[in-house]
Amino acid sequence: MFLLVSSTHIRQNDTVESKLSENIMTEELSTALSVAKQQINQMLTMQDAMNNRVSETWRENGYEWYRAIWVECAEMLDHHGWKWWKHQEIDIPQVQLELVDIFHFGLSLRLMSGNTVESISATLAKELHQGTAENDFKIALENLASAAVTKKSFDAKALADCMSLMNMDLNELFRQYVGKNTLNFFRQDHGYKEGSYIKIWHGEEDNEVLAKLVNKLDASADDFQQQLYAALEEKYPTE
């Protein structure tokens, strides 16, 4: 016996399935943006604290955060490679580290806008989620640098493009940001601004030591920063 199904019934089923799929995608997007906002909110708070550690009047000092962004972009391009006349391999960990450094400066620029942390977090969450779908890393990086040079602004969508092309999601950005922020505090506490800080630790640069420690520790732990700071203290050369 054959069951006859009308085309109208099929279309209705397709419509229901389509709406269900859209609802699931909307819920997933809403959850992702909510998590992103929480992470960015925490990073903005940490950045403000770091800037205050360097200078309590950092908002009035006129620091050129935009310049720091485009200089880091130039350094990053060397780690990525751009010279067509010689063989070059992409140093992905170093490129990712430069992206994290740029994010520090980008957060500082956004904090200078006068908007609330909540508002900045919501905007950045959307921009980092969207990107522009640029598939050429060098072009994406130039877009990031161009905004800094011509508009003195932070192009988070361009940063998102760079991150995506370097296999870096927001969770990884958060993990590495917290690590670098902790190292920056450690540096300040150990004479970085005065010039007495030791940057080479038993033959390794402090950034290299940091990367190894971050990989060993649980970045999701509530006391991750405290654990990392203690581990840095233990590794820091005393002489």
Reported confidence tier of residue 2, pLDDT bands at 50, 70, 90: very low
Percentage of residues of the chain with pLDDT beyond 70: 89
Phi-psi region of 221 (alpha: psi -120 to 50; beta: other; left: phi over 0): beta
> Exposure pattern of 18-48 as b/e (b: 16+ CB <10 Å)?
eeeeeeeeeeeeeeebeebbebbbebbebbb
Q: How high is the pLDDT of residue 10?
A: 63
**Is pLDDT of 47 > 90?**
yes
Q: How high is the pLDDT of residue 31?
A: 82
Maximal C-alpha separation, the chain: 89
Domain boundaries, given as residue ranges, for the chain: 35-166
Q: Where are the alpha helices (DSSP H) in 81-166?
A: 92-111, 117-130, 137-150, 156-165
Q: How high is the pLDDT of residue 234?
A: 94
**Is pLDDT of 222 > 70?**
yes
**Is pLDDT of 117 > 60?**
yes
According to DSSP, the residues that pair with 200 across neighbouring strands are 205
Mean pLDDT, residues 198-215 taken together = 91
Reported confidence tier of residue 200, pLDDT bands at 50, 70, 90: very high
pLDDT per residue as tens digits for the range 14-39? 666 656 555 555 777 778 888 899 99
Q: How high is the pLDDT of residue 27?
A: 74
Q: Select from 2.40.50.140, 3.30.70.890, 1.10.4010.10, 1.10.150.20 the CATH code of 35-166.
A: 1.10.4010.10
Mean pLDDT, residues 32-59 taken together = 92
> 């040079």: which residue's tokens?
149
Pairing of strands 200-201, 204-205: antiparallel
Measured between alpha carbons, how far apart are the two ends of the chain, in Å?
89
Across 21-30, 42-51, 125-134, 197-206, least confident range: 21-30
